[in-house]
């Protein structure tokens, strides 16, 4: 087992997660995850909408971008309640905007009705297959309807410039396949992000695990390492290595 893994218990857990990953997707062939000594990962939010992160790096002045809101903001609410920070939430879905307007949320939740992509402009947004579903996507796949709307999109760097941020401490992304282009944009522009919590959508018919492998490779070149993998091998946490 990689000697850089954190502690015997945490290291064994990560290693076993990776073994499961290889059984589910045998074409994945990359080394076991390497995590810096002293990292303590914990889940924040509900079983459905929560993510693992290193809470020791979070404080009241942390910059958090929550990209892809849906109808579960337990992660955002938990961060705000615990650390007293502001969460900037991004989602261009009209249904999400309407749902959020019906909720009682803290003032620290700043909602932006735009999506995050690797460009600034408009995009075609494919609707979910059923009207009671919430997830839309700019990815054309059989999991979505042929019907679509047009929505505004901006890059992470554009959002940072508009909001006056020089860094992002936590970038959470659940954006139905758009994460791959965003990761490429982050790595290409060397945008300073300390933690990335991302759900990969290699299960979509038009994507596949090859894109996830490339995204992981790009993030490692970008100076980030895997710190957590969910049992379904879809939700990953990446941490910026200390220099």
For the beta carbon of residue 104, count every other beta carbon within 10 angstroms.
4
Name which of 193, 204, 202 is nearest 229 in CA terms: 202
Residue keyed to tokens 């218990």: 9
- How far is it, in rounded angstroms, from Cα 93 to Cα 127? 9
**Token pair of 175 as six digits:** 């954006």
Q: All domains of the chain, ordered by start, with CATH?
A: 8-240 (3.40.50.150)
- How far is it, in rounded angstroms, from Cα 178 to Cα 200? 9
pLDDT values of the chain reduced to their tens digit, one per residue, 243 residues = 333 333 445 556 655 655 655 555 545 544 445 545 456 789 999 888 899 999 999 999 999 999 998 888 999 999 999 999 999 999 988 888 888 899 999 999 999 999 999 999 998 877 666 665 566 566 766 666 666 678 899 999 999 999 999 999 999 998 878 899 999 999 999 999 999 999 997 776 667 788 888 899 999 999 998 888 887 788 899 999 875
Between the alpha carbon of residue 98 and those of residues 92, 113, 127, 189, the distances in Å are: 11, 11, 16, 34
């Amino acid at each position: 087992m990689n000697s850089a893994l954190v502690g015997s218990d945490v290291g064994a857990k990560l290693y076993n997660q990776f073994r499961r990953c290889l059984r589910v997707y045998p074409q994945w062939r990359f080394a076991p995850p390497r995590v810096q000594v002293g990292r303590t990962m914990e889940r924040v939010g509900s079983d459905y909408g929560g993510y693992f992160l290193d809470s020791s790096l979070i404080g009241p002045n942390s910059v958090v971008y929550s990209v892809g809101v849906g109808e579960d903001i337990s992660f955002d609410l938990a961060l705000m309640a615990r650390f007293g920070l502001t969460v900037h939430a991004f989602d261009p879905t009209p249904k999400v905007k309407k749902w959020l307007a019906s909720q009682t949320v803290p003032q620290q939740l700043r909602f932006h009705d735009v999506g995050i992509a690797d460009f600034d402009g408009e995009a075609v947004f494919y609707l979910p297959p059923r009207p009671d579903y919430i997830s839309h996507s700019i990815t054309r796949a059989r999991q979505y309807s042929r019907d679509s709307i047009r929505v505004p999109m901006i890059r992470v760097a554009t959002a940072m410039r508009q909001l006056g941020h020089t860094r992002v401490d936590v970038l959470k992304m659940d954006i139905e396949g758009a994460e791959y282009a965003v990761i490429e944009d982050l790595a290409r522009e060397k945008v300073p992000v300390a933690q990335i919590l991302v759900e990969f959508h290699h299960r979509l018919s038009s994507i596949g695990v090859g894109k996830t492998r490339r995204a992981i490779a790009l993030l490692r070149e970008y100076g980030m390492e895997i710190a957590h993998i969910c049992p379904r091998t879809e939700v990953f946490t990446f941490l910026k290595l200390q220099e």
